[in-house]
Structure 1
Amino acid sequence: MSTRFSNATQLLAAQGLNLGVTDWLEVTQARVNLFAEATGDQQWIHVDPERAASGPFGGCIAHGYLTLALANLFMPQLMAIDNLAMGVNYGTDRVRFPAVVKVGARVRGQGQVVSAERVGTAVQVVVRISIEIEGTERPGCVVDTISRYTFNPTSE
């Protein structure tokens, strides 16, 4: 369930807030293949199950950048913004891939608001998202996402 914010004051007060976790998502070979097609990264460790079975990971693994992209899928599951005039992705900081995500693994997002500050008329929020892998201690990705949210004037 998303943590809901309706105005800038609420969002600014959220620094340090644990946003909880999302539902689990299975990383399928089909998703990995689509990502490979979209990015042109056809490395065998991602798209050749037969060869990957005898490779260093015992099977195909998701691209690191696919794992990172799942942060965008998980973000609205972690937090919802009401009364929003506009929201934009501003960037990321500190992207790490501590563990590989094997095809067939289940992952979920865990989030925490690292910081929230005014930038002009917007609120800039840094949310640390850890892409957890079911049954493992180390996450597949940890990223500090940076977003800017501008609220409708009547919701301030």
Structure 2
Amino acid sequence: MRILGVDPGLKNIGWGIIEVISHQRLLRHLDHGVIETSSTWKLADRLKHLHDELSTIIMEYNPDILANEALLFQKNVSSALPVAHARGVILCLSAMHQMEVKSFAPNTIKQAVTGNGNATKLDVQQMVKILLKLHTAPNSDHAADALACAITAAYGTPCVSDKLT
């Protein structure tokens, strides 16, 4: 089973692909990275770029599950809306490619990966390195967060609903 973890954002989307080798209960790192857009681009062009880049990753790795960070209530609407736009692209792609979606609260991801729901970005990066047996920690906290989402899904952690209520 392959899991695509995504750390949603409009300026930067972190992504990471892991494979779960169930008969050995192992996690294997396949790839990770960051998709970037420029604030000088029109919103539609930024979303199209995210769509095109994520589509390429999905076509290359053919994941079964898309794991992502849920967009929970934020006090700053101006920062939440761009993330919501990007997350819409991500969820649409998951439906187009018939991937199961698992969304997790940020503190749930930190708890699953580090054992501490208030862990720092550095803590998450270091635990991702250890859990995936990487030589170095991902140099981007966006990519590390995406891999942490994938690891959280691999662990079978309960996720939040994506249904609007």
TM-score interval, smaller chain: under 0.3
Normalising by structure 2, what TM-score? 0.25
Higher strand share goes to which structure? Answer: 1
Higher helix share goes to which structure? Answer: 2
Normalising by structure 1, what TM-score? 0.26
